Chain A
Amino acid sequence: MGQFIQFAINGLMSGAIYALIAVGIVSVFKATKVVNFAHGYLIMFGAYFYFTFAVIIPGQEWAPAWLASWQPGWMVEMRQGLNMFSPLGAVLDWAANVPRIIFGLIGAVLCNALLGMLIERSLMRPLMGQSVFAMIMVTVGLISILSGAASLIWTADAAFVPHIAPNTPIRFEVFGTMVFLFGADIVNMIIALLIFGGIVAMVKFTKSGVAIRATAEDQSTAYSMGISVPKIFSRAWILASATGAVAGAILATRNGISPSLGLFGFSVLAIVLMGGLDSYVGCFIAAMSVGVLEAMTQWKLGGEWAEIVPYVAVLVVIIFRPHGLMGQKEVERI
Chain B
Amino acid sequence: MLSVSDLHLSFGGIKALQGVNFEAKEGEITGVIGPNGAGKTSLFNAISGFYAPDKGTVRFDGQDITDITPDKRASLGMARTFQNIALFRGMTVLDNIKLGGHTRLKTGMFSAFKYFGSARREELELRRDIEERVIDFLEIDHIRKYPITMLSYGLQKRVELARALAMRPRVLLLDEPVAGMNREETADMARFILDVQEQFGTTILLVEHDMHMVMDICSHIVVLNFGQQIASGTPAEVSKNPAVIEAYLGAAA
The interface of chain A, by Cβ under 8 A from chain B, is 334
Contacts and interface: CB of A to CB of B under 8 A. Distances in A.
Task: Determine the main DSSP class of A at the interface with B.
Answer: loop
B45 interface: yes
Contacts of B50: 334
Interface in B99-138: none
Task: Determine the main DSSP class of B at the interface with A.
Answer: loop
Interface string B186-212: 000000000000000000000000000
Nearest to B86: A334
Contacts of B82: 334
Contacts of A334: 41, 45, 50, 82, 86
A334 B80 CA distance: 12
A258 B191 CA distance: 71
B208 to A, nearest CB: 18
A333 to B, nearest CB: 9
Interface string B212-250: 000000000000000000000000000000000000000
5 contacts: A334-B41, A334-B45, A334-B50, A334-B82, A334-B86
A134 to B, nearest CB: 15
A334 B175 CA distance: 11
A57 B64 CA distance: 77
A334 B45 CA distance: 8
Interface in B34-68: 41, 45, 50
B14 to A, nearest CB: 12
* Top 5 A-B pairs, shortest CB-CB distance: A334-B50, A334-B45, A334-B82, A334-B41, A334-B86
Nearest to B11: A331
Interface string B142-184: 0000000000000000000000000000000000000000000
A334 B47 CA distance: 13
A334 B16 CA distance: 15
Interface string B68-93: 00000000000000100010000000
A334 B82 CA distance: 8
A334 B85 CA distance: 10
Contacts of B45: 334
B79 to A, nearest CB: 15
A328 to B, nearest CB: 14
